[in-house]
Amino acid sequence: MISTSPIFLAPWSDAVGPLSELREQDGQLLAKVGPVIVALPVELRVKLGPFIGQDIGILRADSGFRIKIMRREHA
């Protein structure tokens, strides 16, 4: 369960790591990415939901958020 204060990403900053939880609270989407909780727009729930358990990167750009799913290569 998410209980830590969320981080609000500044423009051109990111959060990278495994996405382990999503939760809506007070009109925001809280995403646990690695060891941190990131506050995001609720609209991103649809994009992020299918990727719980996977490594992701979330970048806040001037024009919104960009999401990258890290694909692991098989050895």
4 or 19, greater pLDDT? 19
Where exactly are the structural domains of the chain?
14-69
Would you state the pLDDT for residue 3? 55
HSE-CB at 65 with a 13 A cutoff on CA atoms is 21
Report strand pairing: 14-25 vs 36-40.
unpaired
User: Structure pTM?
Assistant: 0.85
pLDDT at 53 over 70: yes
Cβ burial of 40 (10 Å; 0-12, 13-18, 19+) is buried
Given a cut of 90, is residue 35 above it in pLDDT?
yes
Number of residues assigned to the chain: 75
Which pLDDT value is given to residue 71?
77
